[in-house]
A = this chain, B = another copy of it.
Amino acid sequence: MSKIESVRTTDVRFPTSLELDGSDAVNVDPDYSAAYVEITTDDGESGYGLVFTCGRGNEIVTAAMDSYGELLVGRDTDELVNNLGESSRRLVHDSQMRWLGPEKGVSHMAAGGLINAMWDIRAKREKKPLWLLLSEMSSEEIVSAVDFTHIRNALTPEDATDILEKGQVGKEVRIAELKADGYPAYTTTPGWLGYSDEKLVRLSKEAVADGFGMIKLKVAGSIEDDRRRLSLAREAVGPDVRIAIDANQRWEEQEAIDWVNQLQDFQPYWIEEPTSTDDILAHAAIRKAVHPIKVVTGEAVQNRIIFKQMLQAGAIDIMQIDSTRVAGVNENIANLLLAARFETPVCPHAGGVGLCELVQHFSFFDYAAITGTMEDRVIEYVDHLHEHFTEPAVVSNGRYRAPELPGIGAEMLPESTSRWSYPDGAVWQELNAR
């Protein structure tokens, strides 16, 4: 019998604040970081998970992972990875630790990191990338992985089964298509607030030349800057490429409405995070007032219960799932099924560290075995930090290529986790010595 031998965490940080990559109206100086976790078994297996953070506080998430790890060490590996619904609930609903959220913030993300590492072991055992593992699982096992607590008024296990059964039709053809042609991407690379106009224009043109049908610009610094930058970007990409804009929760409700409406001239496709992601009612009001610009959110949506309400209230046009904000693969399946139930497209959030590598699997799974469509669906792509992963996300001609290696995509190169470990890795030692 295989047992969980250890849960080891590493605080990995990249000093991205030294550049202005990743800067927006709220996250002014992020050091893109990963609270990284490896679960090992006494049979010599390893599973990897991570939680993305912006630098300071990454050590709180690793501490939380260590704590949740104590609930796993010594347990039967087979029992855990063959019953991932139950394994997830064991962490998320631990009777004492539940108070720390419940189901939100540091504790929820940390639990999610460990849940993902268990999925990584499962996928490696089956020698499949996560998206294919999920796509080929029985509807019954997928449904058993979902926690329907507090979403049953919008999605029952029966609803989920219906959706998944419909998703079976034509699945094999779609899997072949994904392997051949991948899935559409959009890029945020041109649009960081810290970039000069010249860099914005140059990168926007490059994005179009690289085959992207959509780019994203950060906004909400000043309305004059936003109008100027959007005008430049629109001129650079032409009328047919979509331009999304992203305010990173900077505004109050009325402020969002007034500001966004002053940008209508440039036909932005969506406004992302116009206000607090906790604020379902404000999103609903903003969505009504800025039509036809779409309202989207999700990278900071704490759990399926908030997403459910966003959908019930007609507060969003598009759901942006995130691979490390919620309780792992299980809760992301719940989110995909909720979106399907409300016929709302999912356009995942990515970037940061490892988010592209992880989140792509959910869109591939969604196309293969849930909605069967790519219409108005794109995965975010940011071109940095991929080189630290054993299987870096690959985007070419504006499309994500299907991941092929077994696992969930979170495994990093040992050289990377060592050199960038904080504060003792070589890179940080050097920086501190300056």
Q: Contact residues of A with B, CB < 8 Å?
A: 26-31, 53-57, 59-61, 63-64, 67, 94-110, 149-150, 152-153, 249, 252-254, 275-276, 278-282, 300, 302-303, 305-306, 308-309, 312-313
Q: Looking across the interface, which residue of chain B has its beta carbon closest to that of A97?
A: B57
A152 touches B252 (CB 8 A): yes
A250 to chain B, nearest CB (A): 10
A64→B60 contact, CB < 8 A: yes
B309 touches A29 (CB 8 A): no
Q: List chain B residues, Cβ under 8 A from A282.
A: 150, 153
Known: A60-B63, A63-B59, A97-B57. A104 touches B150 (CB 8 A): no
A320 to B105, CA, bound (A): 21
Give Cα A67 to B63, complex, Å.
11
Chain B proximity of A156: nearest CB distance (Å): 10
Q: For residue A94, which residues in chain B have a CB less than 8 angstroms away from its CB?
A: 56-57
A325 to chain B, nearest CB (A): 10
Quick check: A312 and B281 within 8 Å, CB to CB?
A: yes
**Is B95 within 8 A of A27, CB to CB?**
yes
Residue of B nearest to A275 (CB): B150
A280 CA / B103 CA spacing, docked (Å) = 16
Contacts of A149 in B (CB 8 A): 252, 276
Docked complex Cα distance between A60 and B54 (Å): 18
Cβ contact within 8 Å between B96 and A100: no
Contacts A59-B67, A254-B153; A54 near B278 (Cβ below 8 A): no
Q: Of the candidates B53, B57, B279, B308, which one forms a contact with A150 in the assembled complex, judged by CB atoms under 8 Å apart?
A: B279
B252 touches A278 (CB 8 A): no
The reply to whether B106 and A56 form a contact with Cβ atoms under 8 Å apart is no
Tell me whether B252 and A280 are in contact (CB under 8 A): no
Q: Which of B100, B252, B278 contacts A60 (CB 8 A)?
A: B100
The 10 closest A-B pairs by CB, nearest first: A105-B105, A106-B106, A56-B96, A55-B96, A57-B97, A150-B276, A63-B63, A54-B99, A153-B253, A278-B305
Q: A54-B96, A60-B67, A153-B253 are in contact. List 4 more A-B contacts (CB 8 A).
A: A57-B64, A104-B302, A149-B276, A153-B254
* Cα separation A53 to B153 with both chains bound (whole Å): 30
Contacts of A254 in B (CB 8 A): 152-153
Q: How far is the CA of A249 from the CA of B313 in the complex (A)?
A: 21
Question: Distance in Å from the Cβ of A316 to the closest Cβ of chain B?
Answer: 14
Report B-chain residues with C-beta under 8 Å of the C-beta of A110.
60
Please, which residue of chain B has its CB at the minimum distance from the CB of A302?
B104
CB contact under 8 A between A279 and B105, given known A56-B67, A96-B57: no
Chain B residue numbers with a CB within 8 Å of A55 are 96
Between A and B, 6 residue pairs with Cβ closer than 8 Å are: A30-B96, A53-B99, A54-B98, A60-B64, A102-B249, A104-B278
- A28 contacts B107, C-beta separation under 8 Å: no
A220 to chain B, nearest CB (A): 13
Instruction: Tell me whether A150 and B278 are in contact in the complex, defined as CB-CB below 8 angstroms, given that A95-B27, A100-B60, A107-B106 are known contacts.
Output: yes
**Chain B residues whose CB sits within 8 angstroms of the CB of A306 once the complex forms:** 278
Q: Which of A96, A101, A306 has the most B CB atoms < 10 Å from its CB?
A: A96
Chain B residues near A109: list those with CB within 8 A.
100
CB-nearest residue of chain B to A13: B96
Inter-chain CA distance A252–B110, complex, in Å, is: 26
Scoring A95, A99, A104, A306 by chain B CB atoms within 10 A of each residue's CB, the highest score goes to A99
- Closest B residue to A106 by beta carbon equals B106
Residues in B neighbouring A61, C-beta threshold 8 A? 100
Contact (Cβ within 8 A) B280 A98? no
Contacts of A108 in B (CB 8 A): 105
